[in-house]
Amino acid sequence: MKVLVTGATGYIGGRLVPLLVDGGHQVRVLVRDPGRIAGRDWAGRVELAVGNVEDLASLGAACRGADAAYYLVHLMGSGRDFPERDRAAAHNFAAAAAGIGRVI
């Protein structure tokens, strides 16, 4: 199964990714900064998609071909307008992931 993980650099995502890889899944991670996964033991075993949940085009590219997707992103700490931005990002993800069979 090809699985997309957003939020792979966070606490949960960083622990989920190696479990998925070890389980035999093809894993693609969406990251804004590829340097944030450098040094992780699973970094060389995943497909990297550089993008941002606030950018629908990069989300669409990251979702393409995925059988399942994890949305583990929040924008807290990104300013006073984080609730609106967080909501918009979630709507972007929902739109981009519309064809994916399993969304978590």
Please tell me the predicted confidence (pLDDT) of residue 76.
Answer: 67
Do strands 102-103 and 26-31 pair parallel, antiparallel, or not at all (unpaired)? unpaired
Provide the token pair at 49. Answer: 């998609």
Please tell me the predicted confidence (pLDDT) of residue 77.
Answer: 67
**Edge-to-edge strands of the sheet including 47-50?**
47-50, 26-31, 2-6, 68-71, 102-103
Q: Is the pLDDT of residue 18 over 70?
A: yes
Lowest mean per-residue pLDDT among 17-26, 39-48, 76-85:
76-85
> What are the pLDDT digits (tens) for 63-79?
999 999 999 998 766 67
Please tell me the predicted confidence (pLDDT) of residue 81.
Answer: 82
Rounded to the nearest angstrom, the gap between the alpha carbon of residue 46 and the centroid of all alpha carbons in its chain is 12
Determine the average pLDDT of the residues in 36-49: 95
Give the pLDDT band (50/70/90) at residue 43: very high
Do 70 and 5 form a contact (C-beta atoms < 8 A)?
yes
